Amino acid sequence: MLCVSSHLDQMVKMPCSYSSVVDKILMVDQILSEFRLKKEELKEVMKRMQREMDRGLRLETHEEASVKMLPTYVCSTPEGSEVGDFLALDLGGTNFRVMLVKVGEDEERSWKVETKNQMYSIPEDAMTGTAEMLFDYIAECMSDFLDKHHIKHKKLPLGFTFSFPVRHEDIDKGILLNWTKGFKASGAEGNNVVGLLRDAIKRRGDFEMDVVAMVNDTVATMISCYYEDRSCEVGMIVGHWL
């Protein structure tokens, strides 16, 4: 019977019929070994991150720093009064998500969060066309979602997770510095992203939303995790979709 430990360092002899399986496991372990960092290497990563964060915070080195340390204008974590229905948008790749978030309290006066969401694929012509085309498509997806959940008549507070480099000027105002992840919609860079969204909603004219905040995926992760664990103080995104 096959018996292989999780670290592949304690294996028993087994029939030849299992040799191909073991070979594959050993091959995978060899590949993964390249990603295992020693303690000294981890300390070096920490040191470099700290250096770049410091450079990002300094006026004289901010421009060339790889970690920009851009302000978010999010000054606190949830305090408990944030109850009700909210709409959330998440744009950070080729898929766009619309979510209805219901925040309430349970019998123990703890947060109770219920969500309903739908993913929409963003067509290439919207990604690489004009800003108006992209945000009109986003507004179209919002309209579809509101119809399906019979809430088009409600003017809900809306939070927008926008996972691209943005220079915030307020909690609901941010200038797109540059596109990434294959997006090239013209007329967006250098402009207020929330303004582009509001204009698209206004052009449709079949629903209203109160866009109250725009954040990136790191901040959104921290805030959402805070509802599960109130000791959460840091959000982190490692690569795409992680």
Active site residues: 181, 217
DSSP letter assigned to residue 240: T
H or E, element range at 105: strand 95-105
Q: How far apart are CA 22 and CA 189, in angstroms?
A: 52
198: number of Cβ within 10 Å: 18
Quote the radius of gyration of the chain (alpha carbons, Å). Answer: 23
Residues 6+ apart with CB under 8 A from 125: 133
Q: How far apart are CA 198 and CA 80, in angstroms?
A: 28
112: number of Cβ within 10 Å: 14
The β-bridge relationship of strands 111-121 and 209-215 is unpaired
Alpha helices in 164-234 (DSSP H): 193-204, 217-226
